[in-house]
Each structure stands twice: as structure tokens, then as C-alpha cells.
Amino acid sequence: MGATFDYWKLTKTVLFYALVLVIVVVSVFPFYYAILTSLKSGTDLFRVTYWPTSISFENFRQVFSQGAFPRNLLNSVFVASVTVILALFLAVTASFALSRVRFRGRSLLLMTILAVSMFPQIAVLAGLFEVIRFLGIYNTPWALIFAYTIFTLPFTVWVLTTFMRDLPVEIEEAAIVDGATPWVIITQVFMPLMWPALVTTGLLAFIAAWNEFLFALTFTVSNDTRTVPVAIALLSGGSQYEIPWGIIMAASVVVTVPLVALVLVFQRKIVSGLTAGGVKG
Amino acid sequence: MASIELRNIRKSFGAVNVIKGVDLEVRKGEFMVFVGPSGCGKSTLLRLISGLEDITSGEMLFDGKVVNALTPSKRGIAMVFQSYALYPHMTVYENMAFGLKLEKGHSKEAIRERVEKAADMLQIRQYLDRLPKQLSGGQRQRVAIGRAITRDPKVFLFDEPLSNLDAALRVQTRIEIAKLHEGMHDVTMIYVTHDQVEAMTLADRICVLRDGLVEQVGTPMELYEKPDSIFVAGFIGSPKMNFLTGEKAEAFKCTTLGVRGEHMLVKPDGIWEGEVIHTENLGADTYVYLEMGQEEPIVVRLEGAMQHPSGSKLRVSPMEDRVHRFDEAGKPIR
């Protein structure tokens, strides 16, 4: 009886880890294969192998020496960072109002904000294009920052509103009694308590802006203003008939590394229990 | 340093009237306790005085000046919350200094001096560098009180500050608050509680609230000895006052006769007889519950540890000069 029980337990453990392995392999393999390909050179590229046979950094050298890629990388950093800063600033102030100030039509407004995020990108592309032309920011990074902020805000506002609603009211009231203005409450009392939410939403906004393709392709035309996803797609080889897989993969790896680094750095900041001790639980 | 006057104060949340016209005067340097059952509006009244809630109608005066439109900090109040409401990300020192930093015009040294003075008063100086989560409940509440003291308020408001503490700590903190009041003569204090022991022990005057209205205001002894209604009589005092109706009340020429448990004497020729249904022995006192055909059992408070087995009969008499007689409307007949 005891033996069969152990077998069952063992089977369950084995199945569980087998499932974990499958998930990890499926999700990591594409990226692994990209790294592998980026390290190959010449005709090696077209031989299917699953382990590195020879390592060459030629592709990486070419990516950085080729045309506007470093410039594109800087564009991406600029666009994504400004989008995050702008979106978080607007979202924090908006969510303070939406979670803490009682006014007529508050839930209707929240629903409207959510509705904005329901439209597919392609549906608003033409309209947005007109707005951007009208604002005179076509083919500048600001066009992308504008578009990305619009698409990031609904999510950011919702997450932060929910989070702020859960902060104890007494802490805010204590701050009011201490003579704090709403601005002081937001910046000195709420923001420090909201780090986990800010980091999470900021990170997601950054990733979304960093990887976005359609707007980036539409709102920028010159090599100097493009962001990396478009730049990679437009990388061309020596001739019309050659697709430079090695360089494309090297560029992709270069573009992914900052994201992985960001997540690893900020993961430590996402700690729970920041509000512990403020009020009686 | 401020006298507070409430003139026909009303507060409604939507269609719900919570405060229904309160007139009240709190004198300079007085310790006033608002007491009442839950939902009577005592916390709302405190929040109206603090300025955290807007007054629907009526006038609020501090030292004769209308403060209806002033923010809490402009009114010169400080408040201690039931849940402490400390800033979790700030150390104890930063928590206590926060209000002063916002006030501007205080030098760093002046702030430090005031925080340390308050910390010494409450014996929390050794915790100044800690975060709230590293403190126990009692210590946190002392920090919350310290934060209020540091700002040197004219009016000190307490919203059920002890209800989150355990029994032993509650008594200890109660004594500390009483000492605090002695040490700050000129500061007006208003304290909200549902615990009548806190009210009796701390208050200069007690304001009993019921259903959004003031039921009675007076010193603890006035309320105990001369309650203005059955409600106050039943609310103040522990164990609760006994109310007798029917023949037993008629014998005293009233509709309802109120007798406190401690004002009953057990004697062989007692005028009332009852059956012992339960005995609570508290060491110093014994509460004996007697069934006398009234709505609720009659409690008799006897000194010392007494043995009265359940089921036995007991004869008791009220002390003639300590009975409270009420008419049909629940008002006292004096």
C-alpha cells in the first residue's frame, strides 16, 4: 500500500517537472536559436545544429558598423524611456483623482479609458496618422512617444487606480492633517508605497514601446528616426536575393538583452509588503 | 488653546442624515469624550471637527472664529487614528517630523528638538530610526501620538486610539493619555470611544451621542448619578443599569425604575425575590444574575467573592436614595 502511494507521488513529481521542462523549452527555444544563429558565419547558417559549433562575433561587429543601427538603438531607448516617464506621470496623477476624489461620472470615465484600449492598432492608424501630421511631429520620435503613450495609458491608469484604491485611506488623511497638499501626498506618501506597481507597469510600458512595430513603421520614414524593430526588418543583405540571417539574429539579440537586464534589475524592487506596519492589518 | 463651539451642525451623506443638528461647546483645555453605540455618529462628528469631512450645514467655531472652510492643518488640529496611520516607508523620526517639514519656516535643528522632546515624553526615543513595521502595536500608537504632539496642535483629536490594542496595553496607554493631558493643560482634547470605561476614566466631560444627536453632556459623575434619560443611564456604568417595569416600578411611582447593580443590597427582608440563574466571580466583585420576571435578568453587584448556587432564591432591596425613576418618555422624575 505504501509502495503504490510512493509510485503515484513519484509519477506526479515527474510529470510536473516534465511539463515545466516542455514549457521552458518551448518559450526559450526561439531566443536560444536566435543566439545560436547570430554566432554562426558563412554557410554554417544553413546547417541546422542545436549546439554551438564555432563561435564568431562577426555578425555583431557588422550590426554595429552598419549604417544607422546604433542610432536606431538610441532612438528606441529615447522613445521607450520618455513614453514610460510620461505615461507614469499622467497615470499616477490620473489614478489619484480616479481612486481618491469623489466626482460625478467617475466610473463612466474609467470605463471610457478602458474602452480606448479595445481598438486594434490598425483601426486607429489612419486617424492617428492625420493627428500626427496635424501636430507636425511626423517622422520624429515624438510621433511614436505620442502614439505609445496613448496606447499604454489605459492599462497603466487601471493598474495604478486599483493599487491606489487599496492604499489605506487613513494614511492619506493623516497626511492631510499634517498639512500635505494633494501633490505632496502623491509624491511623498503614495509614490514610495507604490513602487511595486510603478515598476511593473513601467516595465510593461517600456517593453511594449520597445517592441512596437506597426506605428514605428508608419510614423517614421528616415533611417535616422527609426526604432530598432523596424530597422531590423529593413536590414538588407548584399543583394536583393540574400537575407542576412546572421546579422538579423545578432541585431535581435542585441535588442533583447536590455529588456532582460531591465527585468532582472527591477525584479528585486518588486517586493510585496511595502505598506506593512503603516496601519493595523 | 482653543475653545470649540458647534452650532446646529448637520452632516448628511447623500440622503442619509448622520449628524442631525448638534450644539456643543468644548472649553479650552478640556478633555471631552464622545461616547455612544456604533453608528451614532461620534466618529463623523470628530471628522467634522477635524475638517476631514465637509459640514453640510451649521457653524463650527474655534475661539469664536468660523472654521467651516478651513483645512485640517489650518485649524491647528492633530489627530490620532484608530489604525495608527503611520507612513510605512518613513522611519519613526521622519513620521514625526513630516508635518513640521511641510509647515516650512522650521530649521532642521528646531524640528529635531521638537521631535526628540515628544519622543522623550512618550519614551520612544530609542525607536526613532526604526520603521513602523519593526514596532509593536502599542509602540506604533505611541508614535502616532508623538506625531500629533510634535506639531504642537491647539486641538488634539483621538479616534478610538486604543481599540486595536490588547487589554493590558489598553489600560497602560489609557494612563499615558491621561498623563499627557495633565502635562498639556492648554490643549483641548476630544476623544472618541465606544468604551464607557475609557470615557469615565479620561474625560473632564462626556458627550453621549445617540443617533446623530447629543443625548447628554456632563462630567462622568453627573452622567453616572443624574442621567437625563434611560439611554444614558443604561450606557454609562458597568454592569449595565437594571431596568424594572410593571408592579415593581409602580411601587416607586414611575414607569421604569433604574437601579445599578452596585446599589442593591442582599438582605433576608429584601422587597424583591429572584432566582439565581448565573454568577460571575471577578475576584473583587461578584455579579449575580437574578430572574425576577423582568425582560432581562437583574444584575446585583456584590463585593468580594460570594457563593450563590444557581437555582437558589435571593432577596434583595435597592438603596432607596440611589434609584432612578423614569416616566413613560424615558425622562427622569426627580
- On average, the pLDDT of chain A sits at 86
Assess contact for B42 and B35: CB atoms under 8 A: yes
Q: Is residue B5 pLDDT above 90, yes or no?
A: yes
* CB spacing of B73 vs A179 below 8 angstroms: yes
Q: Is the peptide bond before B239 cis (omega within 30 degrees of 0)?
A: yes
Q: Is residue B238 pLDDT above 90, yes or no?
A: no
* CB spacing of A184 vs B78 below 8 angstroms: no
- Specify whether A127 is located in the same domain as A149: yes
pLDDT digits (tens, 9 = 90+) for A61-113: 888 887 788 899 999 999 999 999 999 999 999 999 999 888 888 889 999 98
The verdict on residue A63 lying in a domain is no
Residue A179: which of B50, B82, B103 has the nearest Cβ?
Answer: B103
* CB spacing of A171 vs B135 below 8 angstroms: no
> What pLDDT was estimated at residue A278?
58
More confident residue, B185 or A22: A22
Chain-centre distance of CA B126, in angstroms?
A: 31
- A contact test, residue of B44, B75, B81 with most A CBs within 10 A: B81
> What pLDDT was estimated at residue A7?
87
Residue B87: which of A176, A179, A189 has the nearest Cβ?
Answer: A189
- B contact test, residue of A104, A172, A177, A193 with most B CBs within 10 A: A177
Domain termination residue (choose one: A56, A81, A99): A56
Sheet holding B324-326, edge to edge: B242-244, B256-259, B324-326
* CB spacing of B102 vs A174 below 8 angstroms: no
Residue B83: which of A170, A178, A274 has the nearest Cβ?
Answer: A170
Q: Which residues pair with B299 in a beta bridge?
A: B289
- Specify whether A196 is located in the same domain as A104: yes
DSSP B332: B
Measured CA to CA, the distance from residue B58 to residue B71 in angstroms comes to 17
The verdict on residue A120 lying in a domain is yes
Q: Is residue B253 pLDDT above 50, yes or no?
A: yes
Cell numbers for B292, please give them: 425576577
pTM: 0.81
Cell numbers for A207, please give them: 517593453
CA–CA min distance B49, chain A (Å): 12
Over residues B277-284, the mean pLDDT reads: 90
Q: With DSSP H G I counted as helix, E B as strand and the rest as coil, what are the percentages for chain A, rounded to 5?
A: 75, 0, 25
The verdict on residue A272 lying in a domain is no
Residue B13 at interface with chain A, using a CB cutoff of 8 Å: no
Domain that holds residue A30: 2-56
Interface of B with A in 147-166 (CB under 8 A): 147, 151, 164
* CB spacing of A277 vs B52 below 8 angstroms: no
Residue A6 at interface with chain B, using a CB cutoff of 8 Å: no
Residues 6+ apart with CB under 8 A from B229: B215, B216, B326, B330, B331, B332
- A contact test, residue of B48, B84, B111, B135 with most A CBs within 10 A: B84
Contacts A275 to B, Cβ<8 Å? 88
pLDDT digits (tens, 9 = 90+) for B53-94: 999 999 999 999 999 999 998 999 999 999 889 999 999 999
> What pLDDT was estimated at residue B93?
96
Interface of A with B in 171-230 (CB under 8 A): 171, 173-180, 184, 188-189, 192-193
Q: Is residue A234 pLDDT above 90, yes or no?
A: no
pLDDT digits (tens, 9 = 90+) for B146-201: 999 998 899 999 999 998 888 888 898 899 899 989 888 889 999 999 888 899 99
Interface of A with B in 55-84 (CB under 8 A): none
Return the residue matching grid coordinates 526588418. Answer: A233
Q: What sections of A101-194 are H helices per DSSP? A: 106-116, 121-135, 141-165, 169-177, 182-184, 191-193
- The size of the A-B interface in CB pairs under 8 A is 86
If pLDDT is split at 50, 70 and 90, which confidence band does B14 have? confident
CA–CA min distance A198, chain B (Å): 16
Assess contact for B48 and B68: CB atoms under 8 A: no
Q: What is the DSSP string of A36-92?
A: HHHT--GGGGGS--SS-SS---HHHHHHHHSTTHHHHHHHHHHHHHHHHHHHHHHHH
> What pLDDT was estimated at residue A67?
74
- A contact test, residue of B46, B49, B74, B89 with most A CBs within 10 A: B89
Length in residues, chain B: 334
- Specify whether A24 is located in the same domain as A108: no
Length in residues, chain A: 281
Measured CA to CA, the distance from residue B222 to residue B219 in angstroms comes to 5
Assess contact for B191 and B158: CB atoms under 8 A: yes
The verdict on residue A274 lying in a domain is no
Cell numbers for A92, please give them: 499616477
In the chain, the amino acid numbered B293 is G
Q: Rounded to the nearest 5°, which phi and psi values hold at B278? A: -165, 145
| Strand B155-159 relative to strand B256-259, pairing | unpaired
Cell numbers for A262, please give them: 531591465
Contacts A186 to B, Cβ<8 Å? none
- Specify whether A106 is located in the same domain as A225: yes
Residue B50 at interface with chain A, using a CB cutoff of 8 Å: yes
CA neighbor of B96 nearest in space, from B59, B135, B65, B125: B125
* CB spacing of A280 vs B89 below 8 angstroms: no
Q: Which residues pair with B155 in a beta bridge?
A: B77, B188
- Specify whether A87 is located in the same domain as A203: yes
Task: Give the dihedral sign, CA B112/B118/B119/B120.
Answer: positive
3-class DSSP state of B281: strand
Residue A177: which of B73, B132, B133 has the nearest Cβ?
Answer: B73
The verdict on residue A281 lying in a domain is no
- Specify whether A132 is located in the same domain as A230: yes
CA neighbor of A85 nearest in space, from A181, A209, A178, A190: A209
Measured at the CA of A264, the angle between CA A260 and CA A268, to 5 degrees, comes to 160
10 Å CB burial of residue B47 (0-12, 13-18, 19+) is: buried
B208 membership: H or E segment, kind and range? strand B205-210
- Specify whether A44 is located in the same domain as A115: no
Lowest mean pLDDT among A181-185, A267-271, B302-306: A267-271
Contacts B99 to A, Cβ<8 Å? 177-179
The verdict on residue A278 lying in a domain is no
Fold of B240-326: OB fold (Dihydrolipoamide Acetyltransferase, E2P) (2.40.50)
3-class DSSP state of B302: strand
**Ranges of each domain in chain B:** 4-233, 240-326
Q: Which residues pair with B156 in a beta bridge?
A: B78, B189
Contacts A279 to B, Cβ<8 Å? 81, 83-86
> What pLDDT was estimated at residue A273?
43
- Specify whether A244 is located in the same domain as A140: yes
Sheet holding B31-35, edge to edge: B77-80, B155-159, B188-193, B31-35, B205-210, B213-218
- Specify whether A37 is located in the same domain as A106: no
CA–CA min distance A159, chain B (Å): 21
- Specify whether A108 is located in the same domain as A219: yes
Measured CA to CA, the distance from residue A119 to residue A124 in angstroms comes to 7
Percent of chain A clearing pLDDT 70 (strictly above): 91
- Specify whether A114 is located in the same domain as A43: no
If pLDDT is split at 50, 70 and 90, which confidence band does A281 have? very low
CA neighbor of A38 nearest in space, from A250, A268, A263: A250
Domain termination residue (choose one: A27, A56, A85): A56
- Specify whether A171 is located in the same domain as A262: yes
More confident residue, A29 or A276: A29
Domain B4-233: which CATH class?
alpha beta
* CB spacing of A280 vs B131 below 8 angstroms: no
pLDDT digits (tens, 9 = 90+) for A173-213: 999 999 999 999 999 999 988 888 888 889 889 999 999 99
- B contact test, residue of A104, A170, A178, A280 with most B CBs within 10 A: A178
The verdict on residue A275 lying in a domain is no
- For residue A127, what is the domain's CATH number? 1.10.3720.10
> What pLDDT was estimated at residue A45?
76
The verdict on residue A277 lying in a domain is no
Measured CA to CA, the distance from residue B160 to residue B42 in angstroms comes to 10
Residue of B nearest to A183 (CA): B102
Cell numbers for B60, please give them: 463650527
Q: Rounded to the nearest 5°, which phi and psi values hold at A148? A: -65, -40
Contacts B151 to A, Cβ<8 Å? 178
If pLDDT is split at 50, 70 and 90, which confidence band does A270 have? low
Residues 6+ apart with CB under 8 A from A38: A59, A60, A246, A249, A250, A252, A253
Task: Give the dihedral sign, CA B192/B197/B198/B204.
Answer: positive
* CB spacing of A193 vs B103 below 8 angstroms: no
Cell numbers for A61, please give them: 561587429
CA–CA min distance B75, chain A (Å): 9
